[in-house]
Chains A and B, each alone.
Chain A
Amino acid sequence: MSSPILRVESLVKRFGGLVALGGVDLAVEAGEFRAIIGPNGAGKSTFFNAMTGLLRPDSGRVAFEGRDITGEPPHRVARRGVARTFQITSVFPDLSALENVQVALLAHARRSWNLWSRARVLGTERAQELLALVSLATSAAKPAGTLAHGDQKRLELAIALAGEPRLLFLDEPTAGMAAQERLEAIRLVHRVARELGLSCVFTEHDMAVVFAVATRITVMHQGRVLAEGTPAEMRARPEVQQVYLGETA
């Protein structure tokens, strides 16, 4: 069996006296579509931030494709083949949707130091392809800030994909969407991930979404992993019931 694409060991993060992550372990195999669930405050976002370089863990180890990336800054982590999306949609509002993806492509091709070529015509084909992949082809010229919320999330996905990542972190990819939109959105991500051979780790509150696409589920609570297993296993576990009920209560 190949080694996991992502392995996290005993990750700890404290904020002053508050222990946000109290020793989290995680192993994700290539091709997985892993859901991380848990109530608010369980530490999911902190976990993402600590794995992707936005926060420095106090102790523990994060390894991607066998290489230690613990504590590396976000831009290094990204260059290794890891991408992420944010809970609060994070695009480049003043640029058009096409330009958003172009910038990502140019950065990935290490052309951000090119001071002379005319960027407007670079990478447009590939950018259009990516926009089409997320069904945004018609909005290419619109400023990203004017797009509808759901469209912005899809644009964010396109931007993340431009970097040809092998691991994609999605922080609440369906936040702010109506129920039906959510299933569509996660199915889109799932389909794209399958097509491109991506491994995904995503956080989610809506259990319908989780059970629709996840290949494995990790339950977090108060900064630790509470339980982990396949969707079938998790459905039966009382902790998951609690989390589920807790969400809909």
Chain B
Amino acid sequence: MKARHAAPLAAAAALLVLPSGLTDFWIFIAIEVLAFALYAVSFNVLLGYCGMLSFGHAAFFGVGGYTAALVIKQSGLPPALAFACLPLAAMFVSAAAALVIGFFSVRRAGIYFAMLTFAFQMLLYTIALKATPLTGGDDGLTGLKPPGILAQPVAYYYFALLMTGASLYVLYRVVSSPFGYTLRAMRANALRVQYLGIDVRAHRLAAFVLSGAFAGLAGAIFALSNGNVFPGWLDWTASATPVVMAVLGGTASFLGPAFGAAVYVVLEVLISGRTEYWSLAMGIIIVILVLLMPEGLTGLWRRGIVRPGARAVPLPTREAR
């Protein structure tokens, strides 16, 4: 067994036995971590690999959550069947939304791209808020539960682990593929890439749809564990969440954002348990992050600050920005 496989395998093993040591409350938190890890990593496919900052990614997380809720509650299918269709349905609807939004957004670059995604997220937010017959309006959709045995936290945890693990594997293969290399080249130098014969817009759109689809799946996973979904998932402050998680973990590595998600979720639980001024704490943490450790936690790790002298786990060749 190669040395560099040891760490990930140990981590995988830890994840498998995790529920045995946790209370129900913390198992729900673990499920949340898994969902948000997928959310953050899929977001980072756009930011870290394509260099595209999407201000409106919460739209897809929300669309996925709402789709899951509608499938489980209102599709009229027997619960088991509805649940089986759920991941695909969530991904499909989110991908469709991403296709439409992306089609308009990727024609622009930089700040205009970001603002377009933001505008579309706000459009979806207002729909979620106003289309009460469909979306439950202000209150959202509640009482979401996975069927049968999966309603048990431990069982749902393994479901979430399976979904997240499989999705992360797929995303990893994608970013390590020729398509992934092309994306990284597009981020490095979009002009030169065109002269290689690459249709930049088409590739960006594909990356956007892929990223949106998996963000939607993450939303679906979380919705069923959380029990409800409401318009707040789509409001403008929610657009910062994937950015914080990705930057916190480190955008230069594939799994960095997953780390960031774990830290973010756990911090939120711990801090909001102690004070109602969670936003203030989050704000201060972000300021520290931005000013003192812009490369995120994995950046610190790689520089040996956290583990001096240890060899860093090899990552796909990326220069820290």
Q: Contact: A93 with B179, CB < 8 Å? A: no
Interface-centre pick from B174, B176, B198, B206 (highest chain A CB count, 10 A): B198
**Closest approach, in angstroms, between the C-beta of B295 and any C-beta of chain A?**
14
Q: Does B317 contact A (CB under 8 A)?
A: yes
Interface-centre pick from A111, A115, A122 (highest chain B CB count, 10 A): A115
Which residues of B149-200 are within 8 A (CB) of A? 173-174, 176-182, 184-185, 187-189, 191-200
**Closest approach, in angstroms, between the C-beta of B257 and any C-beta of chain A?**
18
Q: Contact: B178 with A108, CB < 8 Å? A: no
Q: Does B318 contact A (CB under 8 A)?
A: yes
Given A94-B184, A115-B177, A119-B180; A107-B196 close (CB under 8 Å): yes
- The range of chain B's interface size is 20 to 34
Q: Does B203 contact A (CB under 8 A)?
A: yes
Option from A54, A78, A91, A115 in Cβ contact (under 8 Å) with B197: A78
Q: Contact: B177 with A114, CB < 8 Å? A: yes
Given A115-B179, A119-B176; A86-B192 close (CB under 8 Å): yes
**Closest approach, in angstroms, between the C-beta of B176 and any C-beta of chain A?**
6
Chain B's closest residue to A90 (CB) is B192
Q: Contact: B173 with A108, CB < 8 Å? A: no
Q: Contact: B181 with A103, CB < 8 Å? A: yes
Chain A's closest residue to B199 (CB) is A75
Question: In the complex, which residues of chain B have a beta carbon less than 8 angstroms from the beta carbon of A83?
Answer: 195
Interface of B is mostly: helix
Given A94-B184, A103-B185; A159-B196 close (CB under 8 Å): yes
Docked complex Cα distance between A107 and B4 (Å): 30
Question: In the complex, which residues of chain A have a beta carbon less than 8 angstroms from the beta carbon of B177?
Answer: 114-119
Q: Contact: B178 with A92, CB < 8 Å? A: no
Given A117-B177, A119-B177; A92-B188 close (CB under 8 Å): yes
Q: Does B276 contact A (CB under 8 A)?
A: no
Option from A75, A102, A111, A119 in Cβ contact (under 8 Å) with B200: A75
Q: Contact: A90 with B191, CB < 8 Å? A: yes
Option from A78, A92, A116 in Cβ contact (under 8 Å) with B194: A78
Question: In the complex, which residues of chain B have a beta carbon less than 8 angstroms from the beta carbon of A108?
Answer: 196-197
Docked complex Cα distance between A124 and B205 (Å): 28
Option from B174, B182, B188 in Cβ contact (under 8 Å) with A94: B188
Q: Does A52 contact B (CB under 8 A)?
A: yes
Q: Contact: B319 with A112, CB < 8 Å? A: no
Given A74-B194, A75-B194; A143-B319 close (CB under 8 Å): yes
Option from A93, A103, A115, A159 in Cβ contact (under 8 Å) with B174: A115
Docked complex Cα distance between A153 and B206 (Å): 31
Option from B176, B178, B191, B317 in Cβ contact (under 8 Å) with A112: B178
Given A115-B177, A119-B176, A119-B178; A94-B318 close (CB under 8 Å): yes
Which residues of A151-199 are within 8 A (CB) of B? 159-160, 162-163
Docked complex Cα distance between A83 and B192 (Å): 10
Chain B's closest residue to A81 (CB) is B197
Q: Does A79 contact B (CB under 8 A)?
A: yes
Which residues of A62-88 are within 8 A (CB) of B? 73-75, 77-79, 83-84, 86
Q: Contact: B199 with A106, CB < 8 Å? A: no
Q: Contact: B197 with A114, CB < 8 Å? A: no
Q: Contact: A73 with B194, CB < 8 Å? A: yes
Option from B197, B200, B316 in Cβ contact (under 8 Å) with A79: B197
**Closest approach, in angstroms, between the C-beta of B185 and any C-beta of chain A?**
5
Option from B174, B180, B189, B203 in Cβ contact (under 8 Å) with A92: B189
Question: In the complex, which residues of chain A have a beta carbon less than 8 angstroms from the beta carbon of B200?
Answer: 75
Q: Contact: A120 with B176, CB < 8 Å? A: yes
Q: Contact: A114 with B188, CB < 8 Å? A: no
Question: In the complex, which residues of chain B have a beta carbon less than 8 angstroms from the beta carbon of A94?
Answer: 184, 187-188, 318-319, 321
Docked complex Cα distance between A108 and B179 (Å): 13
Docked complex Cα distance between A78 and B196 (Å): 6
Q: Does A145 contact B (CB under 8 A)?
A: yes
Q: Contact: B181 with A119, CB < 8 Å? A: yes
Q: Does A95 contact B (CB under 8 A)?
A: yes
Q: Contact: A118 with B185, CB < 8 Å? A: no
**Closest approach, in angstroms, between the C-beta of B47 and any C-beta of chain A?**
14
0/1 per residue, B289-321, Cβ < 8 Å to A? Answer: 000000000000000000000000000111101
Q: CB within 8 Å of A: which residues of B?
A: 173-174, 176-182, 184-185, 187-189, 191-200, 203, 206, 316-319, 321
26 residue pairs of the A-B complex, CB under 8 angstroms, read: A52-B195, A54-B191, A74-B194, A74-B195, A75-B197, A75-B198, A79-B197, A92-B192, A92-B193, A93-B189, A94-B188, A95-B188, A96-B317, A99-B181, A100-B185, A102-B181, A103-B181, A104-B196, A107-B193, A112-B182, A115-B179, A117-B178, A118-B177, A119-B181, A120-B176, A162-B196
Known contacts A115-B179, A120-B176; 9 additional CB pairs below 8 A are: A52-B195, A75-B195, A90-B189, A92-B184, A93-B188, A100-B185, A106-B182, A108-B196, A163-B196
